[in-house]
Amino acid sequence: MFAQLDDRFGGGRRRSALIHYLGNDASRLLRGRYSETTGRALYSSVAEATLLAAWISYDSMLGSALAQRYFVRALALAQVGDDRLLGASILDAMSHQATYAGRAVDMASLGVRK
């Protein structure tokens, strides 16, 4: 649902609702007791939502440190959920962020030199 809202309206407007969901509802669910299959699926789903929070934070220019924390958290959740494909996607996103941030710094320093 949050991904659909992000696609339709942009993430900045829905960021607070997603963060509230992760901090309250999802964290409460993660503290529950489930079968191994259900637990893995739950952790994987929360990892996907956390990855979306990372992208929204990244896209909203709230600072790469905040987005990085969400990326790291999403990766940890995907690992607990044994979701290797999602983990690879998260690592790709982290690489994208690091590459872009490096280029932004390089571009800014080129502007200062001129």
pLDDT, tens only, 16-59 = 788 898 999 999 999 999 999 999 999 999 999 999 999 888 87
CA distances from 73 to 23, 46, 49, 51, 58 (A): 12, 10, 11, 8, 14
Of the candidates 92, 50, 48, 91, the one whose C-alpha atom is nearest the C-alpha of residue 69 is 50
pTM: 0.77
Phi and psi torsions of 72, nearest 5°: -65, -40
